[in-house]
Chain A
Amino acid sequence: MTDSTLRRSAVAMTGPGLWTRLNNDRNWLGFWFMLPAAAILVLFLTYPLGLGIWLSLTDASIGNPGKFVGILNFYEKECYGPDDCEIYGLFGDHVFWQSVWQTIFYTTVASVAKFAIGLYLALLLNNHLPFKAILRAVILLPFIVPTVLSAIAFWWIYDAQFSIISWSLTKLGLIDQYIDFLGDPWNARWSLIFANVWRGVPFVAITLLAGLQTVPPSLYEAATLDGAGRWQMFRHVTFPLLTPIIAVVMTFSVLFTFTDFQLIWAITRGGPANATHLMATLSYQRAILGGNMGEGAAISTAMIPFLLAAIMVSWFGLQRRKWQQGESDD
């Protein structure tokens, strides 16, 4: 027993080994701790991001790595005669441009609606209400139920023959014939926007509610004493204090709406006549269903500048002081 104690102390006397020293070094330790997360993120996030941009410059298809073709996926001008030139690639592709406009339209309208209704709902919930906790839990339901599954419910609600909306409106005497929700391009677009707003409002409302609850009530009391009305109180007390959280929430909201895929794929698959294709669904159709990986990757790559712009606008735009002081028109 004494022997083993001696030996142990002898080991201790030789000082820490390389292994121990490595484990005490801040940077090495940080490296080991970061390794699992970093490995997954580099392999399945950073690398694909780069690979996607590379693929957009190749003519790859499924099962064929492809070769470098430059910007031909984006722009290709071919001349058959002196004044007989055709533009190919995404630039000359009207379906692509249609999807770009549809994506911008969809994102703008849905985000504005989500913000307006979400903020309104948050303000409503910020009042003294009975069963507030249950109410909040119930309101969040659309957000937690898997999108595809609620989208299927919307698909059924929008059915041309058995739509409950058409039925109700007919019974109320507001329309004579059933609405063709998904067969007409504009009806389909608005129907999808409604479904997207339906799913997004709870997220915006509950996060903004959390922000509202941090506003000190004494500020409202002071404003009341100064004779402020409800609108003035909202405009000059609530809104400025809420701006930072609005910026973050709306950045996420815009980002997720812009890259939406599930809802469109479940309800219309881009139809009728490609009217509801977003860039994400079009890239899926071209790359995975059509097998044209290069072209699909080019559409994905074309989304990146829009995403950066969306992040910049909602991030910096909303943090401008002018906005915080409520001077802009809204």
Chain B
Amino acid sequence: MTDAAKTAAKAAAKDDSEGMDFLMTRRTRWVTIYIPLSVIVFILLFPFYWMTLTALKPNAELLDMETTNPLWVAAPTLSHIFHVIFETDYPVWMWNTMLVSVVATFISLVASVLAAYAIVRIRYKGSQWVGGLIFLAYLVPPSILFIPLSVIVHAYGLFDTPMALILTYPTILIPFSTWLLMGYFKTIPYELEECALIDGATRTQILLKIVLPLAVPGLISAGIFSFTLCWNEFIYALTFISTTSNKTVPVAMLSEFVDGDIYRWGSLMAGALLGSLPVAILYSFFVEHYVSSMTGAVKE
């Protein structure tokens, strides 16, 4: 009986997920859904196709749009990619970006876990206010901070070092990660912590042994999103770094490859493609976490 009810409920739920779709004919679906969707997806993906194609085209094909079809490549070559990897400082820039992103993400995660836990669970005096202030910090854009920050970076002797970026990136990441982790920590039952407290665990033990293992999905989401933000960051890296060998990929791409040469496009696109790969690969493994961090950050 209950089983039957369950099956019925399940069937009903399944019907629900289809909504009122059955009212649409096949042709209406094509006109109102598939065609507009394809157009939008085409536009969203075309620049990537074009980037890849340009990176693989020999120079002769790149500059000849009459005798060859520019939308396809007749004789693909890896020469642009090899040029970027072996004849420029690209690996160094890649390493710089990786180092800065990983360290800044790690620092931010540690600081955010502690802060989020304190705000949600220790609930010290004024923790509600601090939560609100952290949300406000989220809304302060780097574009209005880079000028005074450059003064500070000079004053602390950090100019042109990776430390300048490692210490400033967390200001973008901490507010976001804290906000996200607060949401995750709220979902962990308080009873678990009470049990541990009764058993004599300290707050640090509770955090490390009970809360963190349960919040792993949240940590991954915050970590992935932070890493992507670091990789994407531009204005601080542009302002605080001046030596070529200390630059990050986005900054170096703009300053070192742009030389007014019409043959630069192949290498530029190869560099852009390679620079997008690390985040794209990471993203492909953790799409769900990424989406949940993005939507989680705007909820509430």
* Residues in chain A within 8 A of chain B (CB atoms): 23, 26-27, 29-31, 33-38, 40-41, 43-49, 51-52, 55, 60, 63, 117, 120-121, 124-125, 127-129, 133, 135-142, 144-150, 152-154, 156-157, 159, 161-162, 164, 167, 198, 201-203, 206-207, 210, 217-218, 220-221, 224, 245, 248-249, 251-252, 255-256, 258-262, 265-266, 280, 283-284, 287-288, 293, 296-297, 300-301, 303-304, 307, 311
In the bound complex, residues from chain A placing their C-beta under 8 Å from that of B142 are 259, 261
Residue in B17, B272, B279 whose beta carbon sits within 8 Å of that of A217 in the complex: B17
Q: Which B residues from 47 to 95 make CB contacts under 8 A with A?
A: 47-48, 50-51, 54, 62-63, 65, 70-71
With A33-B115, A141-B45, A153-B272 as known contacts, state yes or no: A146 contacts B40, CB within 8 Å: no
The main secondary structure of chain B at its interface with chain A is helix
CB distance from B239 to the nearest CB of A (A): 6
How far is A221 from B117 in the complex, measured between Cα atoms in Å?
42
* Smallest Cβ-Cβ distance to A269: which chain B residue: B254
How far is A304 from B148 in the complex, measured between Cα atoms in Å?
14
* Smallest Cβ-Cβ distance to B232: which chain A residue: A146
CB distance from A259 to the nearest CB of B (A): 4
Asked whether A262 lies within 8 Å of B63 as measured between CB atoms, the reply is: no
In the bound complex, residues from chain A placing their C-beta under 8 Å from that of B294 are 203, 206-207
In the bound complex, residues from chain A placing their C-beta under 8 Å from that of B271 are 149
Tell me if B11 counts as interface (CB < 8 A to partner A).
no
With A51-B152, A167-B65 as known contacts, state yes or no: A300 contacts B143, CB within 8 Å: yes
Asked whether A23 lies within 8 Å of B295 as measured between CB atoms, the reply is: no
CB distance from A200 to the nearest CB of B (A): 11
How far is A51 from B276 in the complex, measured between Cα atoms in Å?
35
Tell me if B110 counts as interface (CB < 8 A to partner A).
yes
Residue in B47, B63, B144, B170 whose beta carbon sits within 8 Å of that of A198 in the complex: B47
In the bound complex, residues from chain A placing their C-beta under 8 Å from that of B262 are 161
With A49-B145, A150-B47 as known contacts, state yes or no: A284 contacts B235, CB within 8 Å: yes
Residue in A33, A44, A265 whose beta carbon sits within 8 Å of that of B152 in the complex: A44
How far is A27 from B37 in the complex, measured between Cα atoms in Å?
53
Asked whether B130 lies within 8 Å of A34 as measured between CB atoms, the reply is: yes
Q: What number of A-B contacts does a CB cutoff of 8 Å give? A: 287
With A124-B37, A266-B254 as known contacts, state yes or no: A297 contacts B122, CB within 8 Å: no
Most buried by B among A120, A128, A307: A128
Chain B interface category by residue count: 35 or more
The 3 closest A-B pairs by CB, nearest first: A30-B124, A33-B118, A259-B141
Residue in A23, A159, A207 whose beta carbon sits within 8 Å of that of B202 in the complex: A23
Residue in B119, B141, B295 whose beta carbon sits within 8 Å of that of A210 in the complex: B295
Please, could you name 18 A-B residue pairs with CB atoms under 8 Å apart, sorted by A?
A26-B123, A34-B118, A40-B107, A44-B149, A44-B167, A51-B148, A127-B21, A138-B44, A146-B279, A149-B253, A154-B47, A162-B65, A261-B142, A262-B234, A262-B235, A283-B143, A288-B146, A307-B144
Asked whether A147 lies within 8 Å of B234 as measured between CB atoms, the reply is: yes
How far is A162 from B291 in the complex, measured between Cα atoms in Å?
36
Residue in B19, B65, B141, B146 whose beta carbon sits within 8 Å of that of A284 in the complex: B146
How far is A131 from B2 in the complex, measured between Cα atoms in Å?
34
Residue in B23, B125, B279, B284 whose beta carbon sits within 8 Å of that of A145 in the complex: B279
Asked whether A44 lies within 8 Å of B170 as measured between CB atoms, the reply is: yes
Asked whether B48 lies within 8 Å of A141 as measured between CB atoms, the reply is: yes
Tell me if B33 counts as interface (CB < 8 A to partner A).
yes
Residue in A139, A144, A259 whose beta carbon sits within 8 Å of that of B41 in the complex: A139
Asked whether B147 lies within 8 Å of A55 as measured between CB atoms, the reply is: yes
* Smallest Cβ-Cβ distance to A53: which chain B residue: B148
* Smallest Cβ-Cβ distance to A25: which chain B residue: B124
How far is A51 from B151 in the complex, measured between Cα atoms in Å?
9
